[in-house]
Amino acid sequence: MNLFTESNLSPDILKAIGEMGYESPTEIQKQTIPFILSDIRDLIALAQTGTGKTAAFSLPILDMIDDTSRKIQLLVLCPTRELCLQIAKDIKNYSKYMQNIKTTAVYGGSSITEQMRSLKDKPQIIVGTPGRVIDLINRKALDFSAIHWLVLDEADEMLSMGFKDELETILSETPETKQTFLFSATMNKEVERISKNYLTKPHRISVGSINEVKKNITHEYYVVGYRQKKEALKRLIDANPNQYSIIFCRTRMETQEVADFLMQNGYAADALHGDLSQAQRDTVMKKFRLKNIDILVATDVAARGLDVNSLTHVIHYSLPDDPEVFVHRSGRTGRAGKDGISMALIKPEESRKLKQIKFSTKIEINEKFIPTGDEIIKAQVGGVFEKLFTEHEDLFEFDDKLIPDLSNFTKEELVHQLLQFQLKDLALYYKDKHDLVEQKLSNRDDDYSRRDRGRDRDRGRDRDRGGDRGRERGGKPRRKNENMVRFFFNLGKKDQLKKLDVLDIINKATAGKSKKRAEIGDIEILEKFSFFEVEKSFKGDLLNNIQSMKFRGKDMRAEEAN
Ligand code: AMP
């Protein structure tokens, strides 16, 4: 079935979807439409949002529904109000030319009496969230005795939102003769259990792998300590100008914290999570859809209700526990034939988790380094030109006479001036900022339940920019290390010397031909001078090279301390 016209669907349906611009069926539609039209078995379909799931089940059902009966024949259960409204809207569009077919959406956070009134229209199709459906069952406003088809949409999400009991109650209220279709983006134990208990010998369909790993998404990861995560995030955003992205967090609190940080730093960002009221969530989603904000910080659950196809980036601020959630999150970008980038911030102790994700999803995730100030400015310059030439619109007229005489400037000088003007704030911010300390993955156990311990470890640790090979141990008493030499250094706090500068200086002074890097020990910065420890075998290099280096214009001098 390469075209809808080959699908045996009725002319009314073909006309409606033709007007909606659907030409050929999507992968999931190719598999489910012929199945539902011809088979009486239950079905488990693994597919993500955005794959055309709604049409996949509703088109064949609309084709078979009895429009002379006024009883409920199709019940679609889904996790959120947004999804509920979206599905109901789609079904109404598909049945536009089926005069007698009525669809009603029932969901929480909205007047139940009004919904009960609309049920008096006797719709054949109900799309609802589990909680509200139960409420309506209890008020005897829903009669499920004639249900032919039951669709559990985003079953995994309904279960993770705690709708298990509601689902079981509803499933037991519907006739045994019905055909059940379970759609899920991920397959986990809970979904398996529900399907085992409530589906009979289901046929299984999956689009690609469980979660299709899209080829047009580039995956990157950045190792960063807990303390530097927000700054690293800021840099990733700055280094990817003109982005339209979702940042995924693990908890509601983290989501709000990250969104607050971005808003305080002047980004057009907002938070989307379950602690917000329905009205607040609606407002945020609307702002994001209209691109009044271009960065949305969200929990996995809250982001499910959002259907946007043009995301440029997905940022995993925190890794999910389930590798499939990683694929699912990443799959929010790279839609509609566009390329996408997925970037993950990984804490040094999360190496096992990263390995697990790589192993079970087979995704190639490449390590990248947090961009430096220079790299960010370069990217921003590129971003200015990209915007200049792709978003140009003549919105207003102005008299050329308003342009002053610029004949004394070359084209390059003018562009230079404009860029300086445009990027001034950003350039000022990064001017004296140190690059972030480069981190390496450690092989430590990264059990998430030990997160706080990891966090505390992070707090006490600051590695040098070369990674594992050097480590600052600010605390006292100092440990004597036979392989280290202690140096006196002529610069101190009065010269604005910081530990990071010392690490930088040592790395530069000891960077020889061999790839091996010097191990760095204690660094002690005093008012007028400092001390530091460096691996013994680098002593000669250090003493030689440091003489010809300068720090803020000052000569440097080091000698072995007593
Ligand atoms: P869904 O996964 O049902 O949320 O669908 C994702 C989007 O794809 C919706 O905007 C649908 O209107 C659209 N869509 C579904 N099927 C097709 C199709 N065969 N051709 C073009 N667009 C489609």
Q: Where does the pLDDT of residue 447 fall: very low under 50, low under 70, confident under 90, or very high at 90 and above?
A: very low
- Whole-number pLDDT of residue 214: 67
50 lines ligand 1 (CB under 6 A): yes
Asked if residues 135 and 158 have their Cβ atoms less than 8 Å apart, the reply is no
Q: Which of 333, 329, 340 is nearest to 309 (CA)?
A: 333
25 lines ligand 1 (CB under 6 A): yes
**Complete edge-to-edge strand list for the sheet that includes strand 340-346:** 269-272, 295-299, 245-249, 313-316, 340-346, 217-223, 365-367
- Can you spell out the DSSP letters for 473-508? --SSSPPP-TTEEEEEES--GGGT--HHHHHHHHHH
Mean pLDDT for the chain overall: 86
Pocket test residue of 54, 82, 332, 335 for ligand 1, highest count of atoms within 8 A of CB: 54
Q: Where does the pLDDT of residue 257 fall: very low under 50, low under 70, confident under 90, or very high at 90 and above?
A: very high
- Which residues neighbour 511 within 8 Å (Cβ) at sequence distance 6 or greater? 517
53 lines ligand 1 (CB under 6 A): yes
Atom from ligand 1 closest to the CA of residue 307: 4
| β-bridge pairing 103-106 and 179-184 | unpaired
Q: For 5-36, how does the pLDDT look when each residue is reduced to its tens digit (9 = 90+)?
A: 888 899 999 999 999 988 888 889 999 999 99
Q: Which of 562, 532, 240 is nearest to 386 (CA)?
A: 240
190: pLDDT strictly greater than 70? yes
Secondary structure percentages of the chain, helix, strand, coil, to 5: 40, 15, 40
492: pLDDT strictly greater than 70? yes
- Whole-number pLDDT of residue 213: 59
- Whole-number pLDDT of residue 484: 86
26 lines ligand 1 (CB under 6 A): yes
- Whole-number pLDDT of residue 454: 41
- Whole-number pLDDT of residue 391: 61
Q: Where does the pLDDT of residue 461 fall: very low under 50, low under 70, confident under 90, or very high at 90 and above?
A: very low
302-316, 450-464, 538-552, range with the lowest pLDDT: 450-464
Tokens of 60: 């064949």
Q: Which of 80, 492, 493 is nearest to 305 (CA)?
A: 80
Asked if residues 156 and 186 have their Cβ atoms less than 8 Å apart, the reply is yes
Atom from ligand 1 closest to the CA of residue 86: 4
49 lines ligand 1 (CB under 6 A): yes
Question: Average pLDDT for residues 223-250, to the nearest whole number?
Answer: 95
372: pLDDT strictly greater than 90? yes
- Which residues neighbour 416 within 8 Å (Cβ) at sequence distance 6 or greater? none
7 lines ligand 1 (CB under 6 A): no
- Whole-number pLDDT of residue 466: 33
Question: Average pLDDT for residues 231-237, to the nearest whole number?
Answer: 97
Q: Whose CA is nearest to atom 1 of ligand 1?
A: 52
Q: Which of 18, 91, 87 is nearest to 60 (CA)?
A: 91
- Which residues neighbour 73 within 8 Å (Cβ) at sequence distance 6 or greater? 65, 66, 124, 125, 146, 147, 148, 149
Q: Whose CA is nearest to atom 16 of ligand 1?
A: 52
461 lines ligand 1 (CB under 6 A): no
Neighbouring-strand partners of residue 221: 344, 367
Atom from ligand 1 closest to the CA of residue 25: 19
Atom from ligand 1 closest to the CA of residue 54: 3
- Whole-number pLDDT of residue 392: 62
Rg (CA), the chain: 30
404: pLDDT strictly greater than 80? yes
Tell me how far the alpha carbon of residue 50 lies from the centroid of ligand 1, in angstroms: 6
Q: Report the range out of 18-32, 248-262, 390-404 with the highest average pLDDT.
A: 248-262
191-195, 265-269, 307-311, range with the lowest pLDDT: 307-311
Tokens of 401: 């006479």
- Whole-number pLDDT of residue 450: 44
362 phi-psi bin (left φ>0, alpha ψ -120 to 50, beta other)? left
Long-range pairs, 122-125, Cβ under 8 A, ≥24: 122/70, 122/71, 123/72, 124/65, 124/66, 124/67, 124/69, 124/70, 124/71, 124/72, 124/73, 124/74, 125/65, 125/72, 125/73, 125/74, 125/75, 125/76, 125/88, 125/91, 125/101
Neighbouring-strand partners of residue 125: 74, 103
59-68, 238-247, 510-519, range with the lowest pLDDT: 510-519
Rounded to whole angstroms, how far apart are CA atoms 254 and 278? 19
487: pLDDT strictly greater than 80? yes
Q: What percent of the chain has pLDDT over 70?
A: 90
Pocket test residue of 7, 19, 20 for ligand 1, highest count of atoms within 8 A of CB: 20
Q: What b/e readout covers 13-25, taking b as 16+ CB neighbours within 10 angstroms? A: bbebbeeeebeeb
User: Which residue would you say has higher pLDDT here, 210 or 97?
Assistant: 97
Q: Whose CA is nearest to atom 20 of ligand 1?
A: 22
Q: Whose CA is nearest to atom 4 of ligand 1?
A: 50
Asked if residues 341 and 247 have their Cβ atoms less than 8 Å apart, the reply is no
- Which residues neighbour 531 within 8 Å (Cβ) at sequence distance 6 or greater? 486, 487, 488, 489, 522, 523, 524, 561
- Whole-number pLDDT of residue 451: 45
Residues in the chain, overall count? 562
79: pLDDT strictly greater than 80? yes
Tell me how far the alpha carbon of residue 52 lies from the centroid of ligand 1, in angstroms: 4
Tokens of 188: 């986990």
CA 488 to chain centre: 48
- Whole-number pLDDT of residue 294: 96
User: Which residue would you say has higher pLDDT here, 518 or 171?
Assistant: 171
17 lines ligand 1 (CB under 6 A): no
C-alpha to C-alpha distances, 349 to 134, 439, 454, 471, nearest whole angstrom: 44, 10, 7, 16
> Does the bond joining 477 to the residue before it have cis omega, within 30 degrees of 0?
yes
Helix (H, G, I), strand (E, B) or coil at 141: coil
Q: For 96-148, how does the pLDDT look when each residue is reduced to its tens digit (9 = 90+)?
A: 999 999 999 999 989 999 999 999 999 999 999 999 999 999 999 999 999 99
Atom from ligand 1 closest to the CA of residue 47: 2
Domains of the chain (ranges, CATH numbers): 4-206 (3.40.50.300), 217-372 (3.40.50.300), 375-431 (no CATH), 484-560 (3.30.70.330)
93 lines ligand 1 (CB under 6 A): no
Atom from ligand 1 closest to the CA of residue 49: 2
